[in-house]
């Protein structure tokens, strides 16, 4: 087509037909411009297709990662809710008559009150997404916002756990170690070496105001930690929903 315009152009010049030459020259330029625009459009289309494919892979990785985190988190939440329930039961027994206290397996209850652990989510996919700068490949504004909220919520969760653990390690456990029997308590955990050969004394803790204060601090710390975990649960549920490639992604 361009050769055709060139022949017409030279023919017009040879015949001194300047207006026609300009017309043909303009047509030639338009063809070149149109060709460039088409090439750019095809390139953009190919690039968008590549980005769409990359986004789908990212969504699948995030979906799988957060599905697993959801299952793990639900287990951690249930465990710490049991700690709250056991600690509440201990607090209700504090100050009760000795006979009422001994009707319960207080060593088992005490073990549950101190048996906390941290929720450590798998963040390989989300960390790679952020560090690689691929976050802009996610077209959903809501999902990008959820990812930032997740990072912030994990930091708050860690602070909540550290607060709870510090109170337990520096206050509750030293008090029980000094005034009670850790061996009697530990037999309900992973260390199963039987009762202490000394006189059972843990029931006496329930007569002390200081013990009540420690248990109150304990239940506050665990409850505070649970609130952080439940915020994570809400975010996880939303991320799982937004990364479900089988349903339309909400923007």
Kindly list the domain boundaries of the chain, sorted by start residue.
2-242
What pLDDT is attached to residue 193? 80
Backbone angles phi, psi at 103, to 5 degrees: -75, -15
What pLDDT is attached to residue 19? 61
Sign of CA dihedral 235, 237, 240, 246: negative
What tokens appear for 162 in the block?
Answer: 């550290």
The alpha carbon of residue 102 and the mean position of all alpha carbons in its chain are separated, in whole angstroms, by 43
What pLDDT is attached to residue 2? 47
Q: State the pTM of this model.
A: 0.80
What pLDDT is attached to residue 190? 85
Residue 251 DSSP symbol: -
Helix axes 18-93, 209-242, angle to 10 degrees: 150
Residue 95 region, left (φ>0) first, then alpha (ψ -120 to 50), else beta? left
Question: How far apart, in whole angstroms, are the C-alpha atoms of residue 215 and residue 83?
Answer: 11
Question: How far apart, in whole angstroms, are the C-alpha atoms of residue 215 and residue 86?
Answer: 10
What pLDDT is attached to residue 22? 55
Task: Give the list of residues 6+ apart from residue 250 with CB closer than 8 angstroms, or none.
Answer: 140, 142, 242
Backbone angles phi, psi at 200, to 5 degrees: -65, 125
Question: How far apart, in whole angstroms, are the C-alpha atoms of residue 159 and residue 32?
Answer: 62
Task: Give the list of residues 6+ apart from residue 89 with CB closer than 8 angstroms, or none.
Answer: 104, 109
Question: How far apart, in whole angstroms, are the C-alpha atoms of residue 154 and residue 120?
Answer: 9
What tokens appear for 152 in the block?
Answer: 């912030």
Q: Tokens 């959820």 belong to which residue? A: 146
The alpha carbon of residue 194 and the mean position of all alpha carbons in its chain are separated, in whole angstroms, by 40
User: Could you read off the pLDDT tens digit of each residue along the chain, which spans 251 residues?
Assistant: 545 545 545 555 455 555 655 555 666 667 666 767 776 666 666 565 576 788 899 999 999 999 999 999 999 999 999 999 999 999 999 999 999 999 999 999 999 999 999 999 999 999 998 888 888 889 999 999 999 999 999 999 999 999 999 999 999 999 999 999 999 999 998 887 878 888 889 999 999 999 999 999 999 999 999 999 999 999 999 999 999 875 544 54
Question: How far apart, in whole angstroms, are the C-alpha atoms of residue 59 and residue 61?
Answer: 5
What pLDDT is attached to residue 51? 61
Q: Which of 130, 124, 121, 152 is nearest to 231 (CA)?
A: 152
């Amino acid at each position: 087509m361009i050769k055709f315009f060139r022949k017409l152009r030279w023919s017009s010049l040879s015949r001194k037909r300047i207006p026609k030459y300009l017309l043909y020259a303009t047509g030639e330029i338009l063809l070149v411009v149109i060709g460039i625009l088409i090439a750019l459009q095809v390139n953009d289309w190919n690039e968008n297709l590549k980005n769409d494919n990359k986004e789908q892979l990212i969504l699948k990785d995030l979906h799988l990662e957060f599905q697993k985190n959801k299952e793990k988190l639900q287990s951690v939440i249930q465990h710490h809710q049991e700690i709250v329930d056991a600690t509440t039961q201990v607090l209700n027994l504090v100050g009760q008559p000795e006979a009422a206290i001994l009707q319960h397996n207080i060593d088992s209850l005490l073990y549950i009150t101190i048996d906390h652990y941290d929720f450590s989510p798998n963040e390989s996919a989300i960390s790679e997404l952020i560090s690689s700068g691929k976050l802009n490949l996610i077209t959903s504004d809501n999902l990008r916002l959820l990812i930032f909220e997740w990072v912030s919520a994990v930091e708050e969760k860690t602070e909540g756990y550290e607060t709870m653990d510090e109170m337990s390690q520096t206050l509750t456990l030293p008090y029980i170690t000094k005034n009670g029997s850790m061996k009697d308590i530990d037999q309900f955990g992973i260390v199963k070496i039987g009762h202490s050969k000394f006189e059972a004394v843990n029931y006496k803790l329930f007569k002390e105001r200081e013990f009540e204060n420690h248990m109150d601090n304990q239940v506050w710390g665990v409850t505070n930690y649970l609130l952080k975990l439940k915020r994570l649960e809400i975010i996880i549920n939303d991320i799982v929903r937004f990364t479900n490639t089988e349903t339309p992604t909400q923007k």
